[in-house]
Amino acid sequence: MNQQVRQAELYASYSYPQHRYGLELIETADPKPGERVLDLGCGPGTLTELIARRVGPEGSVVGVDPDVERVKLARKARSPECRNLSFEVGRAEDLALIPHGSIDLLFSNFALQFVRERARALREMARCLAPGGRCVFTACAHLSPLLGRVFNQDSEGPNPKNPGNIVLRADEWRAFLEQAGFLVDRA
């Protein structure tokens, strides 16, 4: 079995804590019937499908993730009755596949801390939102020193696939969001 496929499957199997927080975030986001939603960093798509059920057939949801294998898992696991749901490979820094002003709700659960070019990603997210649209996300605020080292290096030294500083405090996120043009309700 391919290493990337195995990693995607392990992620899907062991991401229960993220999933639990994601369920709470869905309640906070409160997707409404008919809304157009972008799930940024959708992983295997479990939460994305729950959102698709909430917006109903008159709404639409697209899940975007940079990991090809996770997107494949999400597509494979998608329920046939969720015709309003699609999954795409993409990065937060380049959401060209999403038309300007076409998203009512941008949802992201524990993914944005891994984005290398945060300012660029936040500008792209703001570009995608429709007037009056909203963005709801969670991101890590703290990692133990051990986890920080694991995320930032591999067995051969620094890992170019992960940013050097993956966590920000709430006030730092607020500043990034405001610089990108978001009106921040809470951070």
Answer yes or no: is pLDDT of 166 > 80: no
Answer yes or no: is pLDDT of 43 > 70: yes
Lowest mean pLDDT among 22-31, 77-86, 164-173: 164-173
Mean pLDDT of 109-116: 85
Q: Which residues of 141-171 are buried (b: 16+ CB within 10 A; e: fewer)?
A: eeeeeeebeebbeeeeeeeeeebeebbbeee
Output the pTM of the full model: 0.79
Mean pLDDT of 93-109: 96
98 or 175, which is more confident?
Answer: 98
Lowest mean pLDDT among 43-52, 146-155, 165-174: 146-155
Task: With CA atoms as reference, report the closest residue to 52 among 70, 35, 75, 29.
Answer: 35
Mean pLDDT of 78-103: 96
26 or 113, which is more confident?
Answer: 26
128 or 139, which is more confident?
Answer: 128
Q: What's the token pair of residue 85? A: 């749901």
Query: Nearest 5 degrees, angle CA 19-CA 9-CA 6?
Result: 150
Q: Which residues of 93-108 are buried (b: 16+ CB within 10 A; e: fewer)?
A: bebeebeeeebbbbbb
